[in-house]
Chain A
Amino acid sequence: MSKTISSNASRIIGALYITGFALFVVKLVITGDAYDYVHPRFIPFLAGSAVLSALIVIAMIVKTGSAHQTRFSFIRVILLFIPLLFAFTMKPSIVDATGEERIRSAASSSTSPQGTQSTTGIAQPVIDARKSSAVNLDDDHFFMILQDMYDNPAFYDGKKISLRGKVMRKKSSPTDECAAVRMLMTCCAADLQPVGFECRYSDAVKLDRSKWYDVRGTIRLAVIDGDTIPVIQADEFNEAAKPKTEYIYPIM
């Protein structure tokens, strides 16, 4: 599994790996596919890394090494090129396996004294949502408001709500229950988790998991496993276009 090659050839193999990975990163940034893999805050760093990689590769190639022979490991090289094989042959694919159990957990925490908090230090979109009679969860404030809805559900009881999301439900769920969710990315695709609401909807069983829906309904509070959480009494699930970005990225 190992043989002797010149040190220059070995250096070029190293440079090829860096070039390959940098090209993949450039492709992701240019096509916008990077959003499927990492949080947008990484995009400038990725672009900077690609530039730095180019300089590194040039320096590695220009550098004159000794002409002596060196033994080199094919296994190490194969290992290096496995990510490149994945990178240039597959499309990003995220499917959540867990159904609605994780939906609450991603957004919720132990609740504070409900409906009694001052608004000091609370973001303006959250204050607006608390005061408004109808809550619209757009992409920019989806997680921020959803988080407050779980932390302080009493503020939202009985309000109208609208959001765009996908449907999750288990085959074992009652026919009138499902969840309306978005996937939350805080760092990279490996930490994606669904966030959203349990919904009561008479035709829940007919909804298609692969489609996007505009969900409209009324927020009701329910006690599940000892926790008071907001659920949506849905009036309608209308098919909708895929949002501009599939995932929700909390601002950090």
Chain B
Amino acid sequence: MIEKYFGTQRLPKKNLRYIIVPAALILSVLAMSTSSASLAEYDLSFLAQFGTFFLSILIQAFPFLLAGTLLSSIIGEFVPRHAMEHLLGKSPIIAVPASIVCAFLFPVCDCASVPVAARLADKNVPPAAVVTFMLASPIINPVVILSTMYAFPEHRSFVWSRIAIGILVPVLAGLIIQKFLSHSGVGILSPKDNEHHAHDETGCACGHCEHDHDETHADSNASFVSRIARTLAHTGEEFIKVSPYIIVGAAVSASIQTALPKDVFASFGGGTGIAVQTLIMMGAAFLLSVCSTSDAFIARGFLFSFAPAPIIAFITAGPMIDIKNVLMMTPYFRKRFIVLLASLIFILVFISIMILSMTVFGGVE
């Protein structure tokens, strides 16, 4: 229903965070620009820089977000609810490898993979496969692999390590979450989505679509053109639904990138062990929310201060979990699922990096 995407309930006070958080960040950036002696030395216009970063993140995400919501809507309109289940089964044995292949063939970042993953979950694709697809596609698609090769032309081990961890961690996280869910009996989609979309055969994962319940997607007798029109309209509705979250994510990321130059993280790296360096790099990846197609170039800059393995933590953890995609998951998935997923990613990436350090890069000292 249309009211979903502009809110049907009386506005809860907690929604004020959508204003308070960006406003606080902008004010903090302004405060920094006037109070920091070392930065004021450069006579910078921080607000203009924030605005440029903010818009550039949104502009770059715009095509991918549209592509993701379009694909999500196409699946919603044209793929019957149980088709995926019949095709892949409830077991992850076929679904997980299939999701890895799909992730490889889906050359987009997390802006597109989140809505599509939510739709797949709504179509009864096993959670392990949904998680694998959502986490792996921003890392192992050809565009990202090529950019990593280009950024590290003489460090092919970085490329292979990134691909290996980009498959291993999503698969493990997916299987663990599926196991956890089978015990708890709880789904991964937010309850609003499930309740709203249980009404028809083909369903709808957006939770904010405006179609009326007497105008269901299951109307497969409608003409092809009208179904295309409905798909497009639904794409718009889903795009509007998720936009506020990516706007807040872009504002947070732009604020951090404006206030904290990337080499600030590098200054913490010297003289620390691999474990600490890995944690710093994972924290940097989470906060900076850099797109996976370009993070290898940012990571290259850290080579002066960090060992190779923590650099790989930066380019594997970031695409899977950062501020931007956590916010994007919020309207689709249960909070408990998001927290569990984020925790698993951090733990699994950290363990993978430690093993990588010991086996490939010569120790963890």
Residues of A at under 8 Å CB distance from B? 1-2, 7-8, 10-11, 13-15, 17-18, 21, 25, 28, 34, 36-39, 42, 45-46, 48-49, 52-53, 55-60, 62-63, 65-66, 70-73, 75-80, 82-83, 86-87, 90-99, 101-102, 104-106, 108-110, 112, 147, 151, 170-171, 184, 186-191, 193, 225, 227, 250-252
CB distance A70 to B235 under 8 Å? no
Closest 3 CB pairs of A and B: A187-B294, A70-B3, A189-B56
In angstroms, Cα B333 to Cα A74, docked, is 24
Contact, CB under 8 Å: A79 / B18: yes
Give the docked Cα–Cα distance between A58 and B62 (Å). Answer: 18
Q: Is the CB of A18 within 8 A of B236?
A: yes
| Chain B residues numbered 275-327 whose CB sits less than 8 Å from any CB in chain A | 290-291, 293-294, 297-298, 300-305
Contact A49 B62 (CB under 8 A): yes
CA distance A73 to B66 in the complex (A): 23
Give the docked Cα–Cα distance between A192 and B102 (Å): 31
Query: Which partner residue on chain A sits nearest B62 by CB separation?
Result: A49
- Of the candidates B19, B41, B154, B155, the one having the most CB atoms from chain A within 10 angstroms of its own CB is B154
Indicate if B87 sits at the interface (CB-CB under 8 A). no
Known: A70-B8, A252-B143. 11 other contacts (CB 8 A): A1-B11, A2-B11, A56-B232, A71-B9, A86-B55, A92-B52, A94-B49, A187-B290, A187-B293, A191-B297, A225-B304
State whether A87 and B210 are in contact (beta carbons under 8 Å apart), knowing that A49-B62, A57-B236, A71-B7 are contacts in the complex: no
CB pair A98–B261 under 8 Å, yes or no, is yes
CB neighbours (8 Å) of B302 from chain A are 105
In the complex, chain B residues whose CB is within 8 Å of the CB of A48: 63
Name the one of B62, B237, B291 contacting A46, with C-beta atoms under 8 angstroms: B62
User: Is B347 an interface residue when CB atoms closer than 8 A count as contact?
Assistant: no
- Per the bound structure, the CA–CA distance linking A25 and B351 in Å amounts to 42
B237 touches A60 (CB 8 A): yes
B288 to chain A, nearest CB (A): 9
Taking a contact as CB atoms under 8 Å apart, the answer to whether B244 and A102 are in contact is no
Residues of B within 8 A of A91 (CB): 48
**Known contacts being A25-B62, A60-B237, A97-B44, is A76 close to B263, with CB within 8 Å?**
no
A-contact bits for B1-24, CB 8 A (1 contact / 0 none): 111011111110001101100100
Q: Is the CB of B236 within 8 A of A62?
A: no
**Residue B330 lies at the interface, judged by CB distance under 8 Å to chain A:** no
Most A-side CB within 10 Å, residue of B44, B143, B240 = B240
A45 touches B16 (CB 8 A): no
- Check if B235 sits within 8 Å of A56, measured CB to CB: yes
Looking at the assembled complex, report how far the CB atom of A149 sits from the nearest CB atom of chain B, in whole angstroms: 13
B248 in contact (CB, < 8 A): yes
Name the distance in Å between B234's Cβ and chain A's nearest Cβ: 9
Which residues of B are found within 8 Å of A18, using beta-carbon distances?
Answer: 236, 239-240
Q: Are B51 and A188 in contact (CB under 8 A)?
A: no
Q: Which residues of A contact B251 (CB under 8 A)?
A: 82
Q: Which of A53, A60, A71, A147 has the most CB of B within 10 A?
A: A60
Q: A70-B1, A102-B263 are in contact. Are A77 and B6 (CB under 8 A)?
A: yes
CA distance A36 to B55 in the complex (A): 11
**Is B1 a contact partner of A52 (Cβ separation < 8 A)?**
no
B96 at the interface (CB under 8 A from A): no
Partner of A79, one of B3, B247, B290: B247
Interfacial chain B residues near A97, Cβ < 8 Å: 39, 42, 44, 261
Instruction: List the interface of chain B (C-beta within 8 A of A).
Output: 1-3, 5-11, 15-16, 18-19, 22, 39, 41-42, 44-45, 48-49, 51-60, 62-64, 66, 70, 143, 146-147, 150-155, 210, 212, 229-230, 232-233, 235-237, 239-240, 243-244, 247-248, 250-251, 253-254, 257, 261-263, 266, 290-291, 293-294, 297-298, 300-305
The answer, among A36, A62, A188, A193, for a CB contact under 8 Å with B291, is A188
**A186–B51 touching, CB < 8 Å:** no
A78-B19 in contact given A18-B239, A86-B55 (Cβ < 8 Å)? yes
Q: How far is the CA of A102 from the CA of B293 in the complex (A)?
A: 21
Identity of the chain A residue whose Cβ is nearest the Cβ of B5 in the assembled complex: A14
Q: Closest Cβ of chain B: how far from A207's Cβ, in Å?
A: 15
Q: A104 to B263, alpha carbons, bound, how many Å?
A: 11
Distance, CA A91 to CA B56, complexed state (A): 12
Please tell me if the beta carbons of B301 and A106 are within 8 angstroms of each other in the complex: yes
Instruction: State A241–B280 Cα separation when bound (angstroms).
Output: 41
Contact yes or no, A227 B53, CB < 8 A: no
Q: A92 — which chain B residues lie within 8 A by C-beta?
A: 52, 55-56
Q: A10-B6, A34-B59, A102-B262 are in contact. Are A79 and B304 (CB under 8 A)?
A: no
Nearest B residue to A9 via CB reads: B2
Whose C-beta in chain A lies nearest to the C-beta of B289? A190
A66 to B212, CA, bound (A): 7
CB pair A79 B19 closer than 8 Å = yes
Whether A190 contacts B57 in the complex (CB less than 8 A), given A14-B237, A18-B239, comes out as yes
A94 / chain B contacts, CB cutoff of 8 Å: 49, 52
Looking at B39, B233, B239, the one whose CB has the most chain A CB atoms below 10 A away is B233
**Bound state CA distance, A110 and B16, in angstroms?**
47
B254: A residues at CB distance < 8 A: 190
Nearest chain A CB to B279 CB, angstrom units: 20
Q: Which residues of A contact B257 (CB under 8 A)?
A: 190
Complex: A105 Cα to B263 Cα, angstroms: 8
A83, B59: Cα distance in complex, Å: 10
A25: chain B residues at CB < 8 Å are 59, 62
A40–B56 Cα gap in the complex (Å)? 13
Question: What are 24 of the A-B contact pairs (CB < 8 Å)?
Answer: A1-B11, A2-B7, A7-B1, A7-B2, A14-B237, A21-B62, A37-B55, A37-B60, A52-B66, A56-B239, A73-B7, A90-B51, A90-B52, A90-B55, A91-B48, A102-B261, A105-B266, A105-B301, A105-B303, A108-B304, A147-B153, A151-B154, A186-B294, A190-B56
